[in-house]
Amino acid sequence: MDFESIRTSIAPSVIERRLSRARASADEVASALWPDAGTTPLLLLDHGSFPPDKREPPAVIAARNSETAILKAVLANGFNDLKRHDKSLNDSTYEALYGANVYACDPESERFLTTPLLAAIEAGQVENVRALLEVKADPNGLDKLVLLDYTIQQKQQRLPNAENVRLRSSPGVQQQFWREWNDRKYGMQQPLQAPPVSAVVKAVQVGSIEILDLLLESGADISFWTSEKTWHSDDFDGCLSPTLETVSSLCVTTPLHAAIEAGNTKMAKHLLGKGFSPNVIPLINRGSTVSPLMAALGNEELLDILLEDPRIDLNLHTPGNICHILHFAAAHHDVSLLKKLHSRVPLEKAGTTFQGQSLLHVACLPLDTSNTNVYSEKIYKSIHDLRSPNIIFIDTPLKFRQYEGSLPSPHPELSDPVGAENFERQIEVVEFIFDNHRDGLVDESGVDLSLVLPDCHRNTPLHYLAGWRFVNEKLIEILRQRESLEKIWIGKKNQWEYTPQELYEDGKSAKEDGPKEFWAEI
């Protein structure tokens, strides 16, 4: 039974009578918290001695209750009577068990779960938050050591290096563009518990500006989130621990990211008005994380709010995979977004990702594994990168490369049907990139050759176009009309010694007739 059910099960007149007093006894508070426990004094000296189905400190339970007087009784008066029942209970022990900063932990794994302040915020109890802060609850909601411990336990990823990127056999680009959202929501390796976050982040997640302002007034740490320093990819040295160690720098997400994830425009504006940086990138799990602007893709209102902020830095790349906001726009096949961004930043500022992929590479990548022609052995060996969040790990052949001797189930249905409309969007994006990207040597047919340089797999954009399960024939025809691209089509070999034309022809002849033996190859 949760606390709200327990509270509402007590007659309102009884609650009113108890709370009308200036002070509540230990027995009365205990009866309000655990009415089925009777009125025997609570001698709760460790988590294991709590009632078996209520293994949280009393202050945490009371913090969720809408009756602030019960919380105040727990914090200030009610449990002083415990000293009468246990002479060994000194002030420090009392504070550790029943104070405003007590930690609730899982009784078996001892993992951190919550504190009274975080519990009150999550329950939306503004007055309880105020009461806790008045008795000097830590406005951060937790100590930075909790965040450090989480980082260590989750075995934070190292930044990628050229060799492991080259050898990676399972789909790769979705890690650049999409994994960060899952990491922020579920933790770096998606543990059973959500990653611990500070009180400020929690307040934003529940959408309470009033609680957020109370925390800021009480001195909650926001130093990293409001820093004027803009973090670029070359600011990260690949170490496992961040260069800063404050609560704000150790959180797996930021308040602004949390507001964007919730689609809370009002909160995002409030944070920006309070000095939160529109360029902040979380340090933790920096191998797959994005800027607020990248996180706002798909929400035009939030995107415009960030773009209009005079502090916005349009030169940011993600620290691990070196992705620019323009790479994300190309991955979305959104020419309107590309044009909006191009009016503020030249396309050539995007550069290449850590895999050496230009905007053109990204625009030509297959949508996901269901759109990659893995029935062709040459394509299966050659194509490792995707541009979509719709990754199906269980049934996709590409995933099974790493399990020797395993064969997947037949290829899944297309996650997103590929039709003329989607092909036209891709053509618009590719043509816009060709017309507006000027970073290298431009040949006689108007091709900026920096766009078509081989990536870490020695694939060109044409290799990726040829690897689609259903090929955009019109786009390939358009590109092959340019002399330099025709030469690439027929003569440029990738790491596996295949040209785009060879991938295309092998894909055309491949039959979708069930699992292939080469799917089990590592």
Concatenating the DSSP letter of every residue in 354-410 gives TT---HHHHHHS-SSGGGB-TTSHHHHHH------S---TTT-GGGGGGSTT--PPS
Judge whether 138 and 145 are in contact, CB under 8 Å: no
Q: What domains sit in the chain, N to C, each tagged with a CATH number?
A: 3-134 (no CATH), 144-319 (1.25.40.20), 362-520 (no CATH)
Counting DSSP H helices and E strands in the chain, the numbers are 29, 2
Question: Residue 474 CB: number of other CB atoms within 10 A?
Answer: 13
Write out the H or E segment, with its range, that includes residue 500: helix 500-509
pLDDT of residue 232: 57
Least confident of 229-238, 257-266, 347-356: 229-238
Kindly report which listed range (244-253, 280-289, 378-387) carries the lowest average pLDDT score. 280-289
CA 113 to chain CA centroid, nearest Å: 20
The whole-chain average pLDDT of the chain stands at: 75
Check if the beta carbon of residue 59 is closer than 8 Å to that of residue 102.
yes
pLDDT digits (tens, 9 = 90+) for 381-411: 999 888 865 433 333 334 433 333 333 444 4
Kindly report the number of other CB atoms within 10 A of residue 178's CB atom.
20
User: pLDDT tens-digit profile of 69-110?
Assistant: 888 877 765 455 455 545 555 555 556 567 788 888 776 666
pLDDT, mean of residues 262-288: 88
Q: Which residue has the higher pLDDT, 340 or 297?
A: 340
For residue 509, count other CB atoms closer than 10 A to its CB: 8
* Rounded distance between C-alpha atoms, residue 139 and residue 215, angstroms: 6
User: Which of 119-128, 137-146, 197-206, 230-239 comes out lowest in average pLDDT?
Assistant: 230-239
Of 251-255, 274-278, 446-450, 471-475, the range with the lowest mean pLDDT is 446-450
Per-residue confidence (pLDDT) for residue 43, from 0 to 100: 34
In percent, the amount of the chain with pLDDT more than 70 equals 66
The answer to whether 226 touches 216, Cβ cutoff 8 Å, is: no
